[in-house]
Amino acid sequence: MRADRLVATLLLMQARGRVTAAEIAEELEVSVATARRDLEALSTAGIPVYPQAGRGGGWSLIGGARTDLSGLTAGETRALFLLAGPAAQAAPEVKSALRKLVRALPQPFRADAQAAADAVVVDAARWGRRDPAEPTALGLLRQAVVDRRQVRFDYTRPGSEPTPRVVHPWGLAQKETTWYLLAGTEKGRRTFRLDRVGAVIILDEKATRPSNFDLTSEWAQIVDQMEQRRAAVAADVLVSAALAPILADQQGRNCTLHGVAPDGRIQATITADTAKMVARQLAGWGADLEVLGPPEVRAELVMLARELLRDNT
């Protein structure tokens, strides 16, 4: 986009003091003619830049201005590169953008920015698993959210046939390794798992979004609703004090540790959306954990044990 180039040109002039059209063309990967037109456009628009002809000439900010045109402080620059660095490991476009931004930053900021970009590695894969592949639909949906365009795709719910959907994409969220699309539909806000989304077609129709929409708070509400739904059944259990922290770490928000029982074990509550799901979460603990109730969870554990011991020969 031309606006991006104009800002980048200003940053380069600020960082270097004086630049030529050829230098800008090389840095921004455009033609020399395009770089020269951008410089002339800045001057025409009233930006305080001027050309100097002759050997050693070029374009400069009037008075050799050294204002930080990016508006970034040293701390903000470091924070930006810490966040963007891990993304650059997987996205060539981000890596290229960071490289250009480093060159455009004021000299005192450059070393810290580069160090911050290389300081963090994000590995989303759990131990024993491969790094999850990016959903096929993610790129197009991200573009549709930014461009405010409606999209069409087939959506497949478990045990159902694919159904066509036309939605207004509002935002994307990643929970652990799963991506979700928050979108407006004729029935209101809906959330779609990207691993159930078919081929995406971006439509010409403009997407609408509520004026007060805030993606962060909206996603927090969805997470709370899902957690409440997943906590429909609660089981009371006893676990040794040594294993209680491991149980809590494994179950996350589905585990609440209480006080110490008379025998020294820890009282805990385990939740899930169904009694069968609670039983499946606890079956692997064997004698290390005692399930006190409710009866339907204990019954599901008995059924699981019978299924495991069933002779299919």
pLDDT digits (tens, 9 = 90+) for 193-250: 999 999 999 999 999 999 888 999 999 999 888 887 777 889 999 999 999 999 999 8
- Per-residue pLDDT band for 67 (boundaries 50, 70, 90) equals very low
Cβ–Cβ < 8 Å for 62, 52:
no
The matching CATH number, chosen from 2.30.40.10, 3.40.50.1000, 2.30.30.520, 2.40.30.10, for 138-227 is 2.30.30.520
Give the highest mean pLDDT range of 67-81, 82-96, 229-243, 257-271.
Answer: 257-271
Q: Which residues pair with 233 in a beta bridge?
A: 272
Whether 192 has a pLDDT exceeding 90, the answer reads: yes
Query: Which carries the bigger pLDDT value, residue 256 or residue 312?
Result: 256
Q: Is the pLDDT of residue 64 over 70?
A: no
Which CB contacts under 8 angstroms, 24+ apart, belong to 223-230?
223/175, 227/253, 229/273, 230/254, 230/271, 230/272, 230/273
The residues pairing with 206 across neighbouring beta strands, listed in sequence order, are 149
What does DSSP say about strands 255-260 and 266-272: parallel, antiparallel, or unpaired? antiparallel
Tell me the fold of 2-64. Answer: Arc Repressor Mutant, subunit A (1.10.10)
Query: When comparing pLDDT for 142 and 87, which is higher?
Result: 142
Mean pLDDT confidence for 255-280: 92
Peptide bond into 51 cis (omega under 30): no
Cβ atoms 115, 82 nearer than 8 A: no
Tokens of 272: 């899930």
- Average pLDDT (255-260) is 92
In the prediction, which pLDDT does 66 show? 47
d(CA 267, CA 257): 6
Model pLDDT, residue 245: 93
The CATH code of domain 231-309 reads 3.30.70
Residue 266 has pLDDT above 90, yes or no: yes
Query: Greater confidence, 161 or 97?
Result: 161
Listed in sequence order, the residues at least 6 apart from 139 whose beta carbon sits closer than 8 Å to its beta carbon are none
CA 248 to chain centre: 26
User: Which amino acid is it at 233?
Assistant: V
Q: How far apart are CA 245 and CA 232, in angstroms?
A: 23
Instruction: Judge whether residue 69 has pLDDT over 60.
Output: no
Percent of the chain with pLDDT over 70: 85
Q: Where are the domains of the chain?
A: 2-64, 74-117, 138-227, 231-309
- Average pLDDT score over the chain: 83
User: What does the pLDDT read at residue 208?
Assistant: 94
Alpha-carbon gap, residue 272 to 111, rounded angstroms: 49
**pLDDT at residue number 78:** 73
Closest CA to 100 of 70, 126, 140: 70
- Residue 39, token pair as written in the block: 């410089």
- Which pLDDT value is given to residue 65? 47
Average pLDDT over residues 129-133: 70
Query: Average pLDDT, stretch 128-142?
Result: 82
> Residue 280 pLDDT more than 80?
yes
Place 309 in a pLDDT band, splitting at 50, 70 and 90. Answer: confident
**Better pLDDT: 165 or 27:** 165
Residue 45 CA to residue 188 CA, distance in Å, equals 44
Q: What is the mean pLDDT of the segment spanning 127-150?
A: 85
Q: Please report the pLDDT score of residue 76 as a whole number.
A: 67
- Highest-pLDDT range among 48-57, 132-141, 198-207, 210-219: 198-207
Q: What are phi and psi of 71, to 5 degrees?
A: 75, 5
Q: Kindly indicate the confidence band of residue 5, based on its pLDDT and cuts at 50, 70 and 90.
A: confident
pLDDT at 77 exceeding the cut of 90: no
The residue among 221, 197, 215, 200 whose CA lies nearest residue 150 is 200
